[in-house]
Structure 1
């Protein structure tokens, strides 16, 4: 057979399947191109339901409170109506920082004076209570030593310590700070100690194997583990401190929101008393939310408000 004829036969045999495959591929591509596209899935419609579920319940709660307040005010002439209290609030907050002397100052100065006392007493309680909580939780000897004292003194009302403060400090202002210190220190000590005691023993075993110093054990192992417990104690302490300062200032006098409430009661100015109650609640809520934000920033756990 001629060599040229053989070559043509081989080429024809080889090119036929390739051409067939190419035709099939082109046909599939054309069919795919001609195939109608599936309709796009419609996106989720925008819904205001989550927004309303978040906003409406608090609004209904406030509305319910105002309605109950209006009913009580209608039945008791001594209780001012919400409208009367609102008008008094507009006048009061028109100039909250006026100063006509030590016994006649705006509500803004009184709130700031109370916050200053709370800050001092609370800060000293943190400086003493948190390290003491670490010591009690870390060493069983100190735990056995201080636990009976804490169990004995913790149930005592902070106001019961106020006369002791007046006796020791001979002045109302440090006596009120002393009462804040006493009421704030117990939650910090207890929560910090519980946090230290709940640190997994495996962590301490690793520290012992690595021969870590006590300072490194505290800073590298205990502190990160105890931080959620410690911040919980701080939150409880600030709430208690803000409660106690109002009562303490009613007894000691001077400038402060507690004394302002008592002074308005002596003047029979009930709308101002109700305004002060709302202000006290708002300030306490702000303080707690600030600490919740700090807790969320420094811990991995979700902090419940």
Structure 2
């Protein structure tokens, strides 16, 4: 056997091992995790037959929602797809408004010690406030459910982005800034050419956390304010003791949150050309 054949055989074996590892890590192991969760659900349902459906029963009961997610059968009778879009609209508006405010504030705090000393105590006081505590204030201001929900999303999505942006800005190497000053680079150019690129991973980490919080909050807010949305759908179905639809909504909410985080992560790769690390609350 010649050397080329040996190398080819080794390469094929290595490729097969890599393919097997990819299949194991992306298909088999996640599949086992989901299977364990379904089996746990099934076991609990067997003990609560009076109220809790089994996975198979929930699937059958939700076929109409699954097969016709965008049906319209009346003013308040909409498919789960429309409800999800209504919630996503509120979340994205509040989140984007929060990002527009939070990123500049984070830059101010990171670049200016007086601004940090002035704003940091305010942030530390407001950051732990429960999102639902803002809802009565929002309702008093706007007197409408939809803008109130957007305001709650806005105010609760500010803090992770502000904190991470300020951390990224303050972590920029002083050597880079010293070189820029030697070259007499204007301040705005320092921000654009040095500080912003170095801070982007921190900014995107803050945005990912903020978006996750926004998606968590909208469900609770819609439960209280009512109207069209996935959160109110959960509450309404529970009021009817229809747990099958509640389980469907939980799956849809979780899957949507996963896709939102994936979208931000892909945007980060596109902008920074670097793979993001996992964002954690």
- What is the TM-score normalised by the length of structure 2? 0.92
1:153 maps onto 2:119 in alignment: no
Q: Secondary structure at the match of 1:233?
A: helix
Report matched runs for 1:186-265 at 5 Å: 186-265=159-238
Q: Secondary structure at the match of 1:79?
A: coil
- Name the CA shift for 1:207/1:112 in 2 (closer, same or farther; >3 Å): same
Match of 2:269 in 1: 296
Moved more, 138-147 or 209-218: 209-218
- Name the CA shift for 1:139/1:94 in 2 (closer, same or farther; >3 Å): same
Question: Quick one: distance in 1 between partners of 2:247 and 2:210?
Answer: 25
- Name the CA shift for 1:205/1:37 in 2 (closer, same or farther; >3 Å): closer
Match of 1:121 in 2: 94
Question: Quick one: distance in 1 between partners of 2:44 and 2:189?
Answer: 61
Question: Quick one: distance in 2 between partners of 1:253 and 1:106?
Answer: 16
Question: Quick one: distance in 1 between partners of 2:68 and 2:2?
Answer: 69
Tell me which structure has the larger Cα radius of gyration. Answer: 1
After superposition, give the CA deviation of every residue in 1:125-165 in whole Å (9 maximum; x if it has no partner).
Answer: 01100011001111111111100100110010111001000
Match of 1:61 in 2: 33
Contact 1:137/1:143 (8 A) holds in 2:
yes
Question: Quick one: distance in 2 between partners of 1:230 and 1:37?
Answer: 54
After superposition, give the CA deviation of every residue in 1:10-69 in whole Å (9 maximum; x if it has no partner).
Answer: xxxxxxxxxxxxxxxxxxxxxxxxxx9779426133345314422211111111111111
C-alpha deviation, 1:174, in angstroms: 0.5
Match of 2:253 in 1: 280
After superposition, give the CA deviation of every residue in 1:282-301 in whole Å (9 maximum; x if it has no partner).
Answer: 00000001111111222254
- Name the CA shift for 1:74/1:210 in 2 (closer, same or farther; >3 Å): same
Report matched runs for 1:58-97 at 5 Å: 58-77=30-49, 78-97=51-70
| Equivalent residue for 1:49, pick from 20, 30, 49 | 20
Moved more, 124-133 or 58-67: 58-67
- Give the 4+ runs in structure 1 shifted more than 6 A: 36-39
- What is the TM-score normalised by the length of structure 1? 0.85
Match of 2:147 in 1: 174
Question: Quick one: distance in 2 between partners of 1:102 and 1:192?
Answer: 43
Q: Secondary structure at the match of 1:43?
A: helix
After superposition, give the CA deviation of every residue in 1:53-107 in whole Å (9 maximum; x if it has no partner).
Answer: 2221111111111111111111111110010011123221221112233422111
CA RMSD in angstroms comes to 1.6
Unaligned runs of 5+ in 1: 1-35
Question: Quick one: distance in 1 between partners of 2:243 and 2:88?
Answer: 23
Unaligned runs of 5+ in 2: none
Question: Quick one: distance in 2 between partners of 1:51 and 1:244?
Answer: 35
Match of 1:98 in 2: 71
